[in-house]
Chain A
Amino acid sequence: MEFLRALETSGFSVWVRESGSLWSFPGILLVHTYGMGIMVGVILAVDLSILGLVPALPLAPLQKFFPLVWIAFWLNAITGTILLAADATTKLTNPDFGVKMGFIVLAVINQRMIQKRLFGEKPSPPATGKALAWMSIACWLGAITAGRLLAYVGTAVK
């Protein structure tokens, strides 16, 4: 708790939270939102393609978008960490934040499995692919929901 408080009261955190500059909290959260749209947007296209909902769209070329997915992911990891530091005592003690991280860890593992199993040299059977695609959609839905609800639930003691 001491560490979290120190993190939250550091000069940078205070600037992010209280400066009122559009480059601080609003701008960082904006990048976080763009990152989410790009990352989940591409992943959704891959999932729907695996599930056979876009029959004309071949799966293999979509792997060209994976670098974009991971750039967006790391962008969100960085902006997310900054936003977290600015609000450490509240967010890190909020159980909902743990739920969000849980979904994201699962989603990342799942995404790596999709890339390895379905875009690798020996593709898995279709049933495995479909299970992974459903898992991907479920995890990202969970992460978005838990993330949005951070603003509403579990405002813990300071």
Chain B
Amino acid sequence: MTQILENSAHVHLLLNHVPTIGFGIGLLLCLAGFVGKSDVLKRTSFVIFFLVAVVAIATFVSGNAAEAVLAGTGRTDFPPGVSPAAIRAHEDAALLAFALMEVTGFFAWLALWQWRRVPSSSRLPGWTLPIVVVLSVVTFGLMTRAAELGGEINHPEIRESGLRQGDVIQTVNGHPVKDNDALNAATVAVEPGSTVSLGVVRDSKLQSVSIAIADAVAASKRAERTNEAASLNVRRTVLLTQELAAQYGLKLGVEGLLVEQVYEQGSQGPVDTGIARAVGLYVTGRTWVWPTCETLHFVGLCMLFTVVVIVDLRMLGMIRSVPYSAVYQLLPIGMLGFGINLTTGILFFLGVPSQYVHNPVFYWKMVFVVLGGINILYFMLVDEAWSIGAGEDAPFSAKVAAASAIFIWAAVLFCGHMLPFIGNSF
């Protein structure tokens, strides 16, 4: 089991650069397509947007496995240098970017679909193109943020703000602080959410450290326990004595408040906060949400099967009197069903991540979902499939693609169904 977790954590480290880089390339191609008025470039960029959105599903769910590896089982013993708050911040930014990216992928797919629908004109109907462009720019912005915050988890040196153990605070916004009362008075005067600049002796050098004043409520809660500068995310500061200076290897003559303990790297940090956690608690906290999502998951499954049965069996030889261009019109029903199931599925995942990140069947399901995303492109892009007329037998490649589609989606359903039986869910 640990191996599954570590593998998927590695998968996350491998996959997490795909969305950002892929989307960047897609965006460049899309712009080049507009400037050069090239439909091929535009279509290529839409294919990239769609594929990146598909791979992002695996990136998103493997991210929770990476967190589980870092956190151990109880989420309290993160290794040194890894901050639970940094993980939460990354997870929230990633959830937002992921949601937007899936919407972008959906519309990019729809634009690709519309391209074929009107064979007489190669132009797209007006509204999908601007939607995809605007969505992809916003998504790219959100994703860059998520990637930045993700980088801070494993590269703590990037984190610019924050006090460390052993820092000696000398000034707050330029005013000298001689003791804890002065520090409290100086930080209380600052509005929560705004930034203060601290003069700090760190590594024998006077440095300026910017730090955001923590949320007032959380700060006051902590202050009850510690009566210290909790709003700076510091658990304990003490007046520097000669003894302490020697202990921390500080030069003689340095004066100020020594940071003895900070809130990071432990269970005291704001672990159970954030959007992802709030959504998860909503899903598990309301009795009606889970059953409703399950019902919708089944409805989505039936919509997906509409396409799997009719389109793929047409390729394999049933209703041969119908041309491919006619069954092609059914594809959005399947994609809509997939969208319903992705949304409800992610809600399950956010509700009880541990049921899935510890479950080998779930990883197989994700593998097949990604394969299904690649498979559908055959039915969208390849001219050989598109040109199958009324009464014509499909070419061998189309039959292989259709048989694969049936196998892939049957496997997705199989894995989903077996989550509690082969795996350990519920």
Contact = CB atoms under 8 A, between A and B. Distances in A.
Contacts of A141: 299
Nearest to A144: B298
A111 to B, nearest CB: 14
A33 B418 CA distance: 12
Interface in B314-350: 318-319, 321-322, 325-330, 333
A40 B326 contact: no
A44 B301 contact: no
A30 interface: yes
Contacts of A57: 322, 326-327, 329-330
A54 B313 CA distance: 17
A79 to B, nearest CB: 13
Interface in A22-64: 22, 26, 29-30, 33-34, 36-38, 40-42, 44-45, 48, 54-58, 61-62, 64
Nearest to A47: B306
Given A33-B413, A44-B302, A38 B309 contact: yes
Contacts of A152: 291
Interface residues on A, range: 20 to 34
Given A22-B421, A26-B417, A41 B318 contact: no
Interface residues of B, number: 34
Nearest to B422: A22
B386 to A, nearest CB: 13
B306 A55 contact: no
Contacts of A34: 410, 413
A106 B330 CA distance: 26
A149 interface: yes
B417 A65 contact: no
B295 interface: yes
A154 B321 CA distance: 49
Contacts of B322: 57-58, 61
Interface SS majority for chain B: helix
Contact of B291 (A22, A40, A45, A148): A148
A41 B417 contact: no
Contacts of B308: 37, 41
B5 interface: no
Contacts of A30: 413-414, 417-418
A149 B295 contact: yes
B305 interface: yes
B309 A65 contact: yes
B413 A42 contact: no
Contacts of B298: 36, 144, 147-148
B66 interface: no
Given A57-B327, A65-B318, A33 B417 contact: yes
B376 interface: no
B108 interface: no
B309 A61 contact: no
A124 interface: no
Contacts of B245: none
B339 to A, nearest CB: 16
A145 interface: yes
Given A26-B417, A26-B418, A42-B310, A55 B291 contact: no
Given A26-B421, A56-B329, A57-B327, A148 B295 contact: yes
Contact of B306 (A22, A41, A148): A41
Given A58-B326, A148-B291, A152-B291, A36 B319 contact: no
B198 interface: no
Contacts of B203: none
B294 interface: yes
A61 B318 CA distance: 9
Contacts of B304: 37, 41
Contacts of B417: 26, 29-30, 33
Contacts of B413: 30, 33-34, 37
Contact of B303 (A36, A44, A62): A44
Nearest to B414: A30
A68 B319 CA distance: 13
Interface string B331-375: 001000000000000000000000000000000000000000000
A98 B313 CA distance: 35
A30 B417 CA distance: 7
Interface string A120-147: 0000000000000000000011001101
Contacts of B295: 144-145, 148-149
Contacts of B421: 22, 26
A78 to B, nearest CB: 18
**7 A-B pairs closest in CB distance:** A41-B305, A37-B305, A26-B421, A40-B302, A56-B326, A61-B319, A41-B306
Interface of A: 22, 26, 29-30, 33-34, 36-38, 40-42, 44-45, 48, 54-58, 61-62, 64-65, 68, 140-141, 144-145, 147-149, 151-152
22 contacts: A22-B422, A30-B413, A30-B417, A34-B413, A36-B298, A40-B305, A42-B306, A44-B306, A44-B333, A45-B306, A45-B310, A45-B333, A48-B333, A57-B327, A58-B326, A61-B322, A65-B309, A65-B319, A144-B295, A148-B294, A148-B298, A151-B291
